[in-house]
Structure 1
Amino acid sequence: MALMTELTDRQLERYARNVILDEVGEEGQLKLLAAKVLVVGAGGLGAPILLYLAAAGIGTIGVVDHDNVDVTNLQRQVIHEDASVDRPKVESAARRLRALNPDIVIEPIEARLSAENAEGIVGRFDIVADGSDNFTTRYLLNDICHRLGKTLVSAALLRFEAQLSTFKSHLGDHHPCYRCLFPEEPPEDLIPRCEQAGILGPVAGVMGSLQATEILKEILGIGDSLSGRLVLFDALSMAFREVRFKRDPHCPTCGH
């Protein structure tokens, strides 16, 4: 998408509720339209992230996923519909996003993120949203984003609980990475996946919406970053709490 210097009349109308915010304004909306965001996973977290980023006017949105839509996904992955069952998630998501906002660029990437392709995919975007459902992808994204100097907004959820943080260890000693918080990948059988333990659908909506909020804040350079802070959400008690953590000097990814 070509770099814009001013909003069109149609864009001023579409994004009016963004533009009237003093912290955003026309300059901020132009930043959003120039931004390129990669969303990893078109599932429970990816669905609200993608919908809100598209609605906000992120100029280029990449979505990477290798799965097809399953009927069991529809309880929480609200970007998909019944007619999309058995179709690739990235195609289903792209169709919905283009209908929501035809003025932005949607790049569906039907692939499983791996050590072989991650650098080439991540390198084309400014900021990354981790909406994956496995630890292998989370650690891979952390390492690649640190190496390429990309900000990573990551969340995870299970049953009635979720967590969220932002990682930008490439900016220096005051910014830890995911491995500073969780040094080693846990055994696969230690933490069950959603299909084993379940997930209350709106929990994904809450946390995905917060991820989208943090991404917009990072692009606009407003508010307080979640770098060095882990937000924990418990839906049963409707409580949020925060854990602060620091960079680990012995971290294999970002340590000295």
Structure 2
Amino acid sequence: MSLSDDELSRYARQIVLPQFGGTGQQRLKAASVCVVGAGGIGTAVIPALAGAGVGRLTIIDGDSVDLSNLHRQPIYRTREAGEPKAALAAQFVRRLNPHVQLDAVERQIVPDNVETLLAGHDLIIDGTDNFATRLTVSDATVRLGLTLISAAAVQFQGQLGLFRGQPCYRCFVGDAFDVDDCDNCAEQGVLGAVTGLMGNAAALLAIRALAQVGEDPAGKLQLFDGLTGEWRTMRLPADPSCRACGSA
């Protein structure tokens, strides 16, 4: 897939990287990424991927902007309170990079629509704020054979992982969180800088995976402690009895 003169100028600082080059940029341009959730995580992921030159972005979010969002969702403005996040995020991307193809989906992901919404993408990034949705998305990526990046932040803590086949996200959290009333950041609180950090880290993982640069991080979980500034990495074991990927 060729790059236009405008794209060559726009992405010059990436293309000059010896590990990345024109081949990495072309791979990004050919890629299709679905971002589930245009909240604190998503509003860091979306500008990073759009700016880097991912060819197609689908943004899924059924919620509207609230004033309590703005400390951690910097692509929105005070005057936009009450407007749909997915549409606003798409507008932001159009202003940032006209080379990105966009699809804004103003719907919540549920078991009845998840496979239809996720199918056809190369990679899924989940930045939603509840376990029930995360497990719905994860189970669907296993069935569809898609790569999933899951990023989360609550209070001063963040976690990030890339899942491809086994182990899956359900192997990590188990079956106890398939209800939609689990705690989220609305109840527990979150520092906006932590969501931004985790969203950008998720975007970096996505770019590495799509451009095929660096080590494969699949099956590893990265944990961030915002009170100490420390990162910790742990390898996740596959659960042979997992009802999502156990027979994969």
- For the aligned pair, the TM-score class normalised by the smaller chain equals over 0.9
**2:135 paired residue among 130, 133, 139:** 139
| 2:11 paired residue number | 15
Q: What's the TM-score, normalizing by structure 1?
A: 0.93
| Stretches of structure 2 lacking an aligned partner (at least 5 in a row) | none
Distance in 2 between residues matched to 1:54 and 1:202, nearest whole Å: 20
- Sort the Cα spacing of 1:223 and 1:178 in 2 relative to 1 into closer, same or farther, 3 A: same
Distance in 1 between residues matched to 2:202 and 2:25, nearest whole Å: 18
The runs of 4+ residues in structure 1 deviating greater than 2 Å are 185-192
Conservation of the 8 A alpha-carbon contact between 2:132 and 2:177: no
**2:217 paired residue among 197, 217, 226:** 226
What is the CA distance between 1:9 and its match in structure 2?
A: 1.4
Distance in 2 between residues matched to 1:237 and 1:123, nearest whole Å: 39
- 1:19-58 deviation digits (Å, cap 9, x = unpaired): 0111211111111111100000000000010000000000
| 1:102 paired residue number | 98
| Stretches of structure 1 lacking an aligned partner (at least 5 in a row) | 170-174
Q: Does structure 1 residue 209 correspond to structure 2 residue 191?
A: no
Distance in 1 between residues matched to 2:232 and 2:22, nearest whole Å: 34
**Residue identity matched to 2:145:** G
Distance in 1 between residues matched to 2:236 and 2:116, nearest whole Å: 30
| 1:172 paired residue number | none
SS in 2 for 1:157: strand
| 2:243 paired residue number | 252
What is the CA distance between 1:166 and its match in structure 2?
A: 0.5
What is the CA distance between 1:221 and its match in structure 2?
A: 1.4
Conservation of the 8 A alpha-carbon contact between 1:154 and 1:165: yes
Distance in 1 between residues matched to 2:168 and 2:155, nearest whole Å: 25
Q: Does structure 1 residue 195 correspond to structure 2 residue 191?
A: no
What is the CA distance between 1:192 and its match in structure 2?
A: 2.7
SS in 1 for 2:70: helix
- 1:177-209 deviation digits (Å, cap 9, x = unpaired): 011111113386995321111111000000000
Within-5 A mapping of 1:70-109 = 70-109=66-105
- Give the fraction of aligned pairs with identical amino acids, expressed as a percent: 40
- 1:38-93 deviation digits (Å, cap 9, x = unpaired): 00000000001000000000011000000010011110011211121110001111
What is the CA distance between 1:253 and its match in structure 2?
A: 1.0
The RMSD of aligned alpha carbons is: 1.4
Conservation of the 8 A alpha-carbon contact between 1:64 and 1:108: yes
Is 240-249 or 59-68 further displaced after alignment? 240-249
Within-5 A mapping of 1:51-66 = 51-66=47-62
Kindly tell me the number of residue pairs found equivalent between the two proteins.
247
Distance in 2 between residues matched to 1:39 and 1:151, nearest whole Å: 12
